[in-house]
């Protein structure tokens, strides 16, 4: 069987001695090349811990992550990380922060080449003119952009993002989401992103991985976002015929199923190695065709006109 | 008038001036010779002070005017040399300053790399901790006999004493600064596959620099305190020796001048390092 670009195989992580319950256990999923995958779950369930293992910053207690058919055993420039806190170096300017990454990626480049390259990515995230500013002089949204520019500037094979937009106001978040979406589409990036935000997941992700509450967290299932990328627009996302079905499925999971998932699978049929791929978006369309509920009808007709 | 009331700096300056004038006036009154009725001295103390005081006509304590003339005398000719025991106050200060800077620089050369090691390795931290804990509270002057015995050179011994007293604050602060570098900054370096040396110089050093500079500032303050005592012990040259020598000459005016200059040089050293610290400090 061919492996996806990133393949998470039997991952478990426990902190402290083996008597402690694992944060998560027996985690299996994959990220295909060029795919945008979101991991969604409640605070403290172990999302950042999984990302740290993917980044090579942390080691799993069991299992492995295979990237490009090689087991990862440490951080790599191929996997750029956008951290939950922006993690800029406060003594360096915007240019300094990005140039540090660029010159780490290409140590032989001379200063002007490094700066030219860095400048391109500063402009890409719309920070032209702020090159000389220190992180403390930037707003939260600008800092996050620098973090994104730094990650993109090393032209990685994949991006790992830990709630990159959660600390931002709605307007800035929307703008940055659009930018990231555009950049990822242009460069066909493979992305693994953590989020709390259901709408953000529907807007950005091709697949949404649902994680149950810890300790002993599991991946419940994988939701396929059946809304095509070119039909997802932030401002009229809610008008898409599939939107409410997908959204309701995700919210239902976060509100009820994430807590009671162990009871749900008590009857059997759950195999962590062969997760169910669910497509709530398509369900709604079929249902709507047979027995149209009021809400969906107005939405679909509104769309068709 | 309103500007004056609003400016704290201006008012504080005026108050400082008033306090200064008050002190000088009190001093003047206390030291004005009162013919015949000299201070009733303890005979032991009078013997120690010598003829001038014992005669009772003039207090051994100089008046502010005496001090003024003495300071002026030193200021117009700070660098004269008239024999090995009679050198200008500028030369003596330069000796002390040289020793302090040399001892301090040597201490920095040892303390910063060692502090790095201690801060990065919990093993080395634990292994060295008992030594640091025991040696740190020892008065640096307690090392002097040992230094004199092993080094057999008084000038180098006093530099060693400066070294020993400035090493601890720098060592401890460097180790602390390095150990408390934010995990996420180190993770940034790791995900960029930055090597250990580049990480040390480009991430850890700038991150810990403000803490290291604080340690250096404490060190230079202690070193400047200790050098006076050390030079009083070993003699020969330096501002500490000068003070001791003037005590033997019973020249209180010279001693007061030296005290003022020691204070001023100490202030300058402290401000110099404070300025350096501001250069490496970053707001988060
Ligand atoms: N270094 C550590 N030592 C001990 N426990 C840890 C450590 N790091 C994380 N944990 C624990 O692991 C669990 C998962 O933490 P993690 O940071 O992965 O959560 P998260 O899903 O990212 O939460 P959030 O959404 O709030 O960021 C938490 O219960 C946390 O207490
Ligand atoms: Mg997290």
Tokens of A220: 């419940």
Distance A21 CA to ligand 2 centre (A): 19
pLDDT at B9 over 60: yes
Q: Is-contact A236 A65, C-beta < 8 A?
A: no
pLDDT of residue A271: 87
Mean pLDDT of B113-138: 94
> Residue A13: CB partners within 8 Å, gap ≥ 6?
A22, A23, A24, A46, A49, A50, A53, A58, A60, A61
**B85 vs B281, residue with greater confidence:** B281
Residue of B nearest to A155 (CA): B192
Calculate the average pLDDT of chain B.
Answer: 88
Per-residue confidence at B47, pLDDT binned at 50, 70, 90?
Answer: low
Q: Ligand 1 — pocket residues by CB below 6 A?
A: A 15, 23, 43-49, 214
Residue B69 has pLDDT above 80, yes or no: yes
Ligand 1, pocket-test mutation among A45, A54, A83, A162, most atoms within 8 A of CB:
A45
Least CB-CB distance to B193: which of A77, A100, A134?
A77
d(CA B253, CA A87): 59
CB pairs under 8 A between A and B: 57
Stated pTM of the model: 0.84
- A148 in Cβ contact with A124 (< 8 Å): no
**Are A93 and A131 in contact, with CB atoms under 8 Å apart?**
yes
Of B187, B33, B45, the residue nearest A147 (C-alpha): B187
Indicate the length of chain B as a whole number: 284
Rounded CA-CA distance B133/B130 in Å is 5
Q: How far is the CA of A47 from the centre of ligand 1 (A)?
A: 8
Which residues in chain B have their CB less than 8 angstroms from residue A85's CB?
Answer: 184
- pLDDT 10s digits, B14-36: 999 999 999 999 988 888 876 54
Question: What is the arithmetic mean of pLDDT over B213-225?
Answer: 96
Task: State the pLDDT at residue A288.
Answer: 53
Q: Is A76 on the interface with B (CB under 8 A)?
A: yes
Query: What does the pLDDT read at residue B107?
Result: 97
Query: Is B198 in CB contact (< 8 Å) with chain A?
Result: yes
Point out the least confidently predicted range of A225-229, B85-89, B106-110: B85-89
Q: Decide if A80 and B191 are in contact by the 8 Å CB cutoff.
A: yes
Q: Which atom of ligand 1 is nearest to the CA of A52?
A: 18
Listing DSSP states for B35-74 in one string gives: TT------HHHHHHH-HHHHH-SS-SSPPHHHHHHHHHHH
Q: Do residue A85 and residue B184 have CB atoms under 8 angstroms apart?
A: yes
Q: Do residues A62 and A11 lie in contact, with contact meaning Cβ atoms separated by under 8 Å?
A: yes
Predicted pLDDT at A296: 39
10-residue stretch averages of pLDDT, chain A, 305 residues long: 87 88 92 94 93 95 93 93 92 97 96 96 90 93 91 93 85 84 86 92 94 90 92 87 92 90 84 87 63 40 34
Q: Best of A49, A84, A212 to mutate for ligand 1, by most ligand atoms within 8 A of CB? A: A49
Angle B49-B53-B57 from CA coordinates, rounded to 5°: 175
Inspect the interface and report whether the beta carbons of B191 and A79 lie closer than 8 Å.
Answer: yes
Q: How confident is the model at residue B244 (pLDDT cuts 50, 70, 90)?
A: very high
> Which protein residue has the closest C-alpha to ligand 1 atom 10?
A15
Q: What local confidence, expressed as pLDDT, does residue B58 receive?
A: 53
Both tokens of B177, joined, read: 């600064």
pLDDT at A301: 34
Question: Positive or negative, the Cα torsion across B41, B44, B46, B51?
Answer: positive
């Amino acid at each position: 069987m061919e492996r996806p670009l990133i393949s998470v195989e039997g991952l478990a992580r426990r902190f402290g001695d083996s008597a402690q319950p694992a944060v998560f256990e027996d985690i299996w999923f994959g990220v295909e090349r060029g795919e945008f995958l979101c991991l969604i779950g409640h605070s403290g369930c172990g999302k950042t811990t999984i990302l740290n293992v993917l980044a090579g910053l942390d080691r799993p207690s069991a299992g492995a992550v295979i990237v490009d058919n090689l087991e990862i055993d440490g951080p790599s420039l191929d996997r750029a990380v956008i951290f939950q806190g922006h993690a800029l170096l406060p003594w360096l300017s915007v240019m300094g922060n990005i140039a540090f990454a660029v010159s780490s990626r290409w140590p032989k480049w001379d200063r002007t080449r490094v700066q030219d390259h860095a400048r391109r990515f500063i402009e890409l995230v719309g920070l032209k003119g702020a090159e000389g500013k220190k992180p403390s002089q930037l707003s939260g949204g600008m800092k996050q952009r620098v973090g994104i520019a730094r990650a993109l500037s090393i032209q990685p094979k994949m991006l790992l993002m830990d709630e990159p937009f959660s600390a931002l106001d709605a307007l800035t978040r929307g703008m940055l989401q659009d930018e990231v979406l555009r950049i990822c589409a242009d460069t066909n990036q493979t992305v693994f992103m953590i989020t709390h935000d259901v709408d953000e997941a529907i807007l950005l992700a091709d697949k949404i991985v649902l994680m149950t509450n810890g300790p002993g967290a599991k991946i419940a299932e994988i939701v396929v976002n059946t809304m095509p990328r070119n039909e997802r627009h932030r401002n009229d996302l809610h008008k898409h015929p599939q939107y409410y079905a997908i959204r309701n499925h995700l919210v239902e999971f976060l509100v009820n199923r994430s807590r009671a998932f162990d009871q749900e699978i008590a009857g059997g049929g759950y195999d962590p190695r062969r997760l169910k791929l669910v497509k709530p978006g398509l369900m709604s369309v079929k249902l709507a065709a047979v027995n149209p509920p009021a809400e969906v009808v107005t939405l679909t007709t509104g769309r068709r006109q | 008038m309103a500007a004056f009331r609003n400016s704290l700096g201006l008012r504080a300056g005026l108050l400082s001036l008033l306090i200064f004038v008050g002190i000088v006036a009190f001093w003047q009154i206390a030291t004005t010779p009162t013919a015949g009725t000299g201070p009733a001295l303890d005979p032991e103390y009078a013997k120690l002070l010598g003829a001038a005081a014992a005669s009772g006509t003039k207090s051994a304590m100089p008046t502010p005017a005496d001090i003024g003339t003495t300071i002026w005398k030193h200021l117009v000719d700070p660098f004269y040399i008239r024999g090995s025991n009679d050198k200008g106050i500028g030369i003596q200060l330069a000796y002390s300053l040289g020793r302090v800077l040399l001892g301090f620089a040597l201490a920095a050369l040892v303390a910063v790399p060692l502090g790095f090691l201690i801060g990065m390795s919990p093993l080395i931290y634990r292994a060295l901790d008992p030594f640091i804990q025991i040696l740190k509270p020892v008065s640096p002057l307690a090392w002097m006999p040992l230094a004199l015995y092993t080094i057999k050179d008084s000038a180098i011994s006093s530099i060693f004493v400066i070294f020993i007293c400035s090493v601890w604050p720098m060592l401890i602060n460097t180790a602390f600064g390095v150990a408390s570098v934010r995990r996420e900054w180190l993770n940034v370096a790791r995900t960029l596959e930055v090597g250990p040396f580049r990480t040390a110089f480009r991430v850890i050093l700038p991150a810990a620099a403000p803490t290291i500079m604080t340690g250096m500032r404490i060190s230079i303050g202690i070193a400047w305190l200790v050098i006076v005592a050390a030079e009083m012990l070993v003699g020969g040259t330096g501002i500490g020796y000068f003070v001791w020598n003037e005590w033997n000459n019973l020249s209180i005016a010279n001693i007061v001048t030296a005290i003022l200059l020691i204070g001023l040089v100490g202030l300058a050293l402290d401000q110099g390092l404070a300025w350096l610290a501001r250069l490496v400090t970053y707001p988060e």
